[in-house]
Amino acid sequence: MESIIFGIVWIVLSVIGEWAARILINHDPLYYTASNIGLMVEHAFDFILVVLLPIFAFVVVSFIWTMVRFRVKKGERPQLPKHWTKSNRWFVGIWIMGSILVNLMFVLHPTTTATEHFFALEQPSAPQNRHAIVVDVTARQWEWIFSYPQYGLTQTLNANGQDMLELPVNRTVKLVLRSYDPYHTYDQYADVIHSFWVPSWGIKEDVIPGETRILYITPTKITSFSQNPMSRVQCAEVCGPGHPWMEAPLNVVSQSTFTRWIAQQKALQSKG
């Protein structure tokens, strides 16, 4: 009888929880998502959230139940029964099988499905990747340097003379990530691990000295720091005293604005 009432309360609370989660999911729990990979992250996040809510509700309801229903008052010494149950085959069985099944499900979806989807997106031979815009991203202490080899641009800068990344919306970009200091190649200590992170893109990739990492991604929204401050290139792995300021402006713009910007950068480069 106790178990049945418990079960009803648990189900009711889980349903309320799912309803609240639905509202949250409609408002993007990740705050702001502006790339194809970011959308994958969001979907996986939402799925895990939906599955975990009833589990969370079960444990919390059982705690509250204990505190309310099974509590003995201070000073009270109720008679102990001759024997307590030491186990309950059904409860243990359902718990163990249930936890195994939930975890296997997570392994299959979203872990394996989303990860394999991500790997597929990252295949150099994938059709959308063959015509990607190539951007060489060089991380040094403490600066992101962007160059566009297809356009002959060695370092793109904004009006303040700071490095900046600008990309057209809905076109796949191939980010070639390297960590080294092009101006001080004699100093092997200057090269440390950085992490390329754009919060609104939902992805970060560590930049390792001595390795070249490639990341294909498609921005899906026109955005910039002033539009949403999550649109910025930010170093996410601690890399020394300059780590907090290792940030660079990111502009995702329309194709025509991008073309104009490239021309402008070319003019700037030939002047300087």
Partner 1 sequence: MAERTPGEMTEPETPDWSRRQFLWGLGGLAAVGAVSLFGRQALVSAARSIFGSPITTGAVNLYAFDYYYVPNYMVWRVGDQMDVTFQNQSHTHWHEWTIGRHVNEAYFQAFGELPADAWKVDFWDGVPVTLSNPYKIDNFVPNKALVTYKGPKSLYNITSGGDFSPTLKPGGSLNLSFRVPDKPGIWDFGCFVQQYIHYRTGMRGVIKIVKA
Partner 2 sequence: MAQTLSTPSSAPSPSTRRAPMPPVLRGFLWAAVGFLILNIVVDVVDPFRGHPFVTGPSATIGWVGALVGWLLGVGAFEGVALPLFGYPSRWTERTTGWRRYFEYSTDHKVIGLQYLGSAMGGFLIAGLVAMLMRWELMSAHLTIFHYPTNYLTAVGIHGTIMMFSVANVALLGGFGNYMVPIMIGARGTAFPKLSGISVWLVPAGILTVLFSPLLGAWTTGWRGYQPLAAQDPNGILFYYLGVAALTTSTFIVALNMVTTVMFRRAPGMTWGRLPLFAWGQVTVGLLVLIWIPEIQATFVMGLLEKLVPFNFFTATGSVLSYLELFWIFGHPEVYMIAVPVFALWNEIIPVMSQKSLFAREWAVIGLVFVMLLSGLVWAHHLFTNMRNSEILPFAFFTEMISIPTGFAYMAGIGTMWKGHVRLTTPMLLVLMSMFNFLIGGLTGVFLADPIVNMQLHDTFWVVGHFHYTVIGSIVFTGLAAVYYWLPKMSGRMYSEFWGKFLAIALFLFFNATFSQFFLLGLHGMNRWVPAYPRYLQPMNFEVSIFAFLLGLAFVAQFVHIIWAWRKGAKAPENPWQARTPEWFTSSPPPRDNFPVQPEIVSSLYIYGAEQPVAVHMSAEQELAAARDSNEGGEHPHG
Residues that bind partner 1 (CB under 8 A): 141-143, 160-162, 184, 186-187, 189-190, 225-226, 229, 232, 240-242, 245, 247, 249
Residue 168 touches partner 2, criterion: CB under 8 A: no
Question: What b/e readout covers 50-71, taking b as 16+ CB neighbours within 10 angstroms?
Answer: eeebbeebbeebeeebeeeeee
Q: Kindly tell me which of 136 and 191 has the beta carbon lying closer to partner 2.
A: 191
Give the shortest CB-115-to-partner 2 separation in angstroms. Answer: 5
Residue 91 touches partner 2, criterion: CB under 8 A: yes
SS3 of residue 174 by DSSP: strand
Q: Kindly tell me which of 28 and 187 has the beta carbon lying closer to partner 1.
A: 187
Give the shortest CB-145-to-partner 2 separation in angstroms. Answer: 17
Name the DSSP letter for residue 224: E
Query: Taking a C-beta distance cutoff of 8 angstroms, is the pair 258, 146 a contact?
Result: no
Give the shortest CB-142-to-partner 1 separation in angstroms. Answer: 5
Among 19, 27, 78, 159, binds partner 2 (CB under 8 A): 78
Q: Binding pattern to partner 2, positions 187-226, x when CB under 8 A?
A: -xxxxxx-x-x-xx-xxxxx-xxxx---------------
Size of the site for partner 2 (CB under 8 A): 89
Query: Taking a C-beta distance cutoff of 8 angstroms, is the pair 242, 151 a contact?
Result: no
Stretch in the footprint of partner 2 (CB under 8 A) among 39-47, 145-153, 168-176, 258-266: 39-47
Give the shortest CB-172-to-partner 2 separation in angstroms. Answer: 17
Residue 56 touches partner 2, criterion: CB under 8 A: yes
Among 23, 127, 159, 241, binds partner 2 (CB under 8 A): 241
Q: Which residues pair with 213 in a beta bridge?
A: 177
SS3 of residue 168 by DSSP: strand
Give the shortest CB-200-to-partner 2 separation in angstroms. Answer: 8
Pairing of strands 247-253, 232-235: antiparallel
Q: Binding pattern to partner 2, positions 98-137, x when CB under 8 A?
A: -xx--x--xx--xxx-xx--xx--x---------------
Q: What are the residues whose beta carbons fall under 8 Å from the beta carbon of 6, sequence distance 6 or more?
A: 61, 62, 65
Distance from C-alpha of 46 to C-alpha of 60, rounded to nearest angstrom: 21
Omega before 197 cis (within 30°)? no
Distance from C-alpha of 141 to C-alpha of 110, rounded to nearest angstrom: 36
